[in-house]
Structure 1
Amino acid sequence: MADPVGGIILTIFLSVTHVGENQGFPHTPDAAYVCGFDRASYEIDQAGTIDVVFVPSTAARFKMRSVRISNDNRAAPEYATLGIQNRSLQLDAQNRTAQAIYFGVTVEDEKTGQSFECDPQVINIPRPPA
């Protein structure tokens, strides 16, 4: 089991851009928004807090509103939302079971009133017992 660790163990950076209707990526023609994370996936090897923040260039009109968490091992829910502010959110990562964790950040565009989800992948890699 991973030893509990206090503080931030991982910071994930999220960028959101409004590109306009039918201006997104070729395989998502109806998308008006593009989300980008600083990595395609993240790995953690300890327990602690994951901080998700907007990159400074993300327009002030975008706000984080909620987060949906799911994982491979339904019997071992290891992530919980600690708090959501307008421009960031924190997750509690207990990291006791090797598994893939998926979470989707719901972002609201205050200018248009639309909400959409941005979703990276986090893979737990528990440390071997001491």
Structure 2
Amino acid sequence: MEDCWQWVWVVALWLCVCAAFFAWKFEQHRRRVVYHVMGYCVCVAKGGAETLKFNMALILLPVCRNTFTWPRTGTKFGKVLPFNDSLSFHKVIAAAIAVGVGLHTIAHLTCDFLRLLHATDL
């Protein structure tokens, strides 16, 4: 644990941000009219899409080596952030994108479209 404490806190922070984005969008759509038609499926799909947006914006940041040259060597961030292990974090983000795509797609295909096909006119 002493050797990888930087990695642990960065991944824990990233997971908390992803969970917060998911919960925020889930609750936002649970209060809308679309929830009464499609139920929790739309909430799960939109929550997964929100984490996808965050991770797609973040995926290139760990592999921008020229951007991290100065913070790694010239500041105290180099002691706190694992700049030298950024390729592993890039791969973790890619795996999270795959999970988010699967969650978003499955939620739409299994629930939303079936409910819309059998919905009645109001």
TM-score of the aligned structures, taking structure 1 as reference length: 0.25
Q: RCO higher in 1 or 2 (8 Å CA, sep ≥ 6)?
A: 2
Q: Which has the higher strand share?
A: 1
TM-score of the aligned structures, taking structure 2 as reference length: 0.26
